[in-house]
Structure 1
Amino acid sequence: MRTARAIRPTRRGLLAMGGAVGLGAVLAACGDSDGKDAGSGGSKSADAGPWSFKDDRGKTAEAKSVPKNIVAFTGVAAALHDYGIEVKAVFGPTKTKDGKADVQAGDLDVSKVEILGNVWGEFNVEKYAALGPELLVTAMWEKDALWYVPDQSKDKILKPAPSVALWAARTTIPKAIQRHEDLAESLGADVRAKAVTDAKARFEKAAARLRAAAKSKPDLKVLIGSASQDLFYVTLAKTAADTLYFQELGVKFVEPKVNSAGFFEELSWENVDKYQADIIMMDNRSSALQPEALTSRPTWTRLPAVKAGQVIPRTTEPIFSYDKCAPILEDLAKAIEDAKKAA
Structure 2
Amino acid sequence: MARPIRSVLACLAALLVLAGAACASTTPPAAETQQGWTFVDDRGETVTAPEVPQRIVAHTSSAGALWDLGIKAVGTFGPLSPVDGKPNPQSGNVDPAAVTNLGEEYGQADIEKLASLAPDLIVYGTWSPEAELTDEEKKMAEIAPMVKINHGKGAMLDKTIARYAELAASLGADLGSPEISQDKAAFESASNRLRDWATSKPDVRIAAVALDPQMMYIAVPKDNADLAYYASLGLDLVEPENPNNGEFWEYLSWENADKYALDVIMWDTRSQASKPEQIIKDKPSFAKLPAVEAGQLVRWDYVSPPSYKLQSVILNKLADELAPTGKLTREPKGCCGRPGS
TM-score by length of 1: 0.81
Deviates further, 208-217 or 255-264: 255-264
Counterpart contact for 1:272–1:300, Cα < 8 Å: yes
Q: 1:101 to 1:208 in 2, by over 3 A?
A: closer
Superposition pairs for residues 162-177 of structure 1, below 5 Å? 162-169=145-152, 170-177=154-161
The one-letter code matched in structure 1 to 2:159 is K
Structure 1 position 247 matched with structure 2 position 231: yes
Structure 1 position 286 matched with structure 2 position 274: no
The one-letter code matched in structure 2 to 1:302 is K
How much has 1:219 moved relative to structure 2?
Answer: 1.4
Listed one character per residue, the Cα deviations across residues 230-285 of structure 1 (whole Å, up to 9, x for unaligned) are 01011222221111111111111222212332332111112111112111100111
Listed one character per residue, the Cα deviations across residues 99-121 of structure 1 (whole Å, up to 9, x for unaligned) are 97422111111122111121012
Distance 1:96 1:328 in 2: 17
SS at match of 1:313: strand
Structure 1 position 271 matched with structure 2 position 256: yes
TM-score by length of 2: 0.81
Counterpart position of 1:312: 298
Q: 1:229 to 1:82 in 2, by over 3 A?
A: same
Superposition pairs for residues 22-61 of structure 1, below 5 Å? 49-61=35-47
Distance 1:208 1:152 in 2: 42
How much has 1:130 moved relative to structure 2?
Answer: 1.6
Counterpart contact for 1:242–1:318, Cα < 8 Å: no
Q: Which has the higher contact order (CA 8 A, sep 6+)?
A: 1
Query: Which one has the largest radius of gyration?
Result: 2
Query: Structure 1: where are the runs of 5+ without partners?
Result: 1-47
How much has 1:49 moved relative to structure 2?
Answer: 4.7
Listed one character per residue, the Cα deviations across residues 199-226 of structure 1 (whole Å, up to 9, x for unaligned) are 1111111111211111111111111111
Structure 1 position 333 matched with structure 2 position 319: yes
Query: Structure 2: where are the runs of 5+ without partners?
Result: 1-33, 330-341
Counterpart contact for 1:257–1:264, Cα < 8 Å: no
Superposition pairs for residues 120-139 of structure 1, below 5 Å? 120-139=106-125
RMSD: 1.9
Distance 2:135 2:236 in 1: 40
Superposition pairs for residues 145-294 of structure 1, below 5 Å? 145=131, 151-169=134-152, 170-259=154-243, 260-294=245-279
Listed one character per residue, the Cα deviations across residues 152-206 of structure 1 (whole Å, up to 9, x for unaligned) are 3433321121110000012111100000000011111111111111111111111
Listed one character per residue, the Cα deviations across residues 2-41 of structure 1 (whole Å, up to 9, x for unaligned) are xxxxxxxxxxxxxxxxxxxxxxxxxxxxxxxxxxxxxxxx
The one-letter code matched in structure 1 to 2:129 is K
Q: Which has the higher helix share?
A: 2
SS at match of 1:204: helix
Equivalenced residue count is: 293
| Identical counterparts, % of pairs | 39
Distance 2:145 2:131 in 1: 15
Distance 1:153 1:324 in 2: 28
Q: 1:249 to 1:97 in 2, by over 3 A?
A: closer
